[in-house]
Copies of this chain bind each other. A is one copy, B any other.
């Protein structure tokens, strides 16, 4: 229920005041970072996304050196773990109106998830919960995550992830992952201009694909498109690259592109080997 260790503005603490604007309004950002052998995987990419989010929400520019020092302190000696980092706009009494651009830093160390990623891939369902189309918040990892909670709430025990469409029917992402389709040796991944989070691992996969000479297209993706793909895989910073074994309508083989990319990213040390 509690993190293994937590720093709030650099000091060991596990509690925040009720005026905290993350609690009151979700007025902040977060990152979920894999730690392996004391190393923060894809750390600078996580900071890059935080910087973009801070600018979008009207928060002060992030202090990369300070965040790096605090995150590194928590990661020391951790063989396998997760750092959840939150930047929350400073409290300012009651009311939506923000009186500050400054943020509180909450860095919490959590255990690696018990339920690992199966090598055989994951069985995925379609969520009934839709993602709203909100270009002002799309792409960034802000703290307003009720849609993801409602999506996860739908998952039965047999499903490791649920795919979510937006309110116009476009397939956007899993509840906690980005999605790629493999088709005739190339990759397609949904456009995130109107909904979804631009995952750090998603960006890493696109770079890796380029290095391997695999074409990647960003486009609108329909449910029918998903169902005719040769292979599907999911990505996030913790699970790395994870093949989809089935959707209710069909099964997929373990795709060759997912495998190549996962091996390449692991070889670079950017995805954890659990």
Q: Chain B: which residue is nearest A89 at the CB level?
A: B149
Knowing A14-B18, A15-B18, the reply to whether A146 touches B92 (Cβ < 8 A) is no
Q: Can you tell how many copies of this chain the complex includes?
A: 2
Nearest-neighbour CB distance to chain B for A195, whole angstroms, equals 8
Q: Which chain B positions have C-beta within 8 A of A167? A: 133-135
Tell me if A94 and B106 are in contact (CB < 8 A): no
Tell me if A96 and B144 are in contact (CB < 8 A): no
Tell me if A132 and B130 are in contact (CB < 8 A): no
Q: Chain B: which residue is nearest A91 at the CB level?
A: B1
CA distance A125 to B132 in the complex (A): 25
Looking at A2, A94, A133, A175, the one whose CB has the most chain B CB atoms below 10 A away is A94
Nearest-neighbour CB distance to chain B for A23, whole angstroms, equals 4
Tell me if A18 and B108 are in contact (CB < 8 A): yes
Q: Chain B: which residue is nearest A175 at the CB level?
A: B96
Tell me if A3 and B18 are in contact (CB < 8 A): yes
Looking at A3, A15, A84, the one whose CB has the most chain B CB atoms below 10 A away is A15
Q: Which chain B positions have C-beta within 8 A of A248? A: none
- Among listed A24-32, A185-193, A208-216, A226-234, interface-contacting one: A24-32
Q: Does A143 contact B (CB under 8 A)?
A: yes
Tell me if B149 and A134 are in contact (CB < 8 A): no
Q: Chain B: which residue is nearest A137 at the CB level?
A: B146
- Among listed A34-42, A64-72, A151-159, A261-269, interface-contacting one: A151-159
Q: Does A110 contact B (CB under 8 A)?
A: yes
Knowing A23-B20, A23-B23, the reply to whether A134 touches B132 (Cβ < 8 A) is yes
Q: Which chain B positions have C-beta within 8 A of A24? A: 30, 143, 145
Looking at A18, A113, A155, A175, the one whose CB has the most chain B CB atoms below 10 A away is A18
Tell me if B25 and A98 are in contact (CB < 8 A): no
Q: Which chain B positions have C-beta within 8 A of A77? A: none
Interface residues, chain A, with chain B CB atoms under 8 Å away: 1-3, 6, 8, 14-27, 30, 32, 57-58, 82, 84, 86, 88-89, 91-98, 106, 108, 110, 113, 129-130, 132-137, 142-153, 155, 167, 175-176
